[in-house]
Amino acid sequence: MKYGARNQLTGKVTEIKKGTMMCQVKLEIPADSKMSSVMTIDSLDDLNIREGDSVKVVVKAVNVLLVKE
């Protein structure tokens, strides 16, 4: 898959907080930093993201997209 965003990092999923429709995925990224992303529960399930997974963090403008390859 190709992305228009050039800001890409690799992160490890450290925590997933689920609500009724949305969830927050917390990540640890290089330089001992942390980030988080908010997405729908459906997207979380479609991407099959779980705690402990390594994901690509794609940052574009105000959006933080997670990509599991």
Whether residue 61 is predicted with pLDDT greater than 80 in this model: the reply is: no
Task: Write out pLDDT tens, residues 4-14.
Answer: 767 788 999 99
Distance CA 34, CA 10 (A): 11
According to DSSP, the residues that pair with 58 across neighbouring strands are: 8, 65
Task: Write out pLDDT tens, residues 18-37.
Answer: 999 999 999 999 888 999 99
Instruction: With cut-offs at 50, 70 and 90, classify the pLDDT of residue 17.
Output: very high
Give the residue extent of every domain in the chain.
10-53
Collapsing DSSP to helix, strand or coil, 18 comes out as strand
Identify the residue with better confidence: 40 or 66: 40
DSSP 27-51: EEETTTEEEEEEEEHHHHHHHT--T
Assess if CATH 3.40.50.150 describes domain 10-53: no
Its pTM stands at: 0.80
Distance CA 53, CA 51 (A): 6
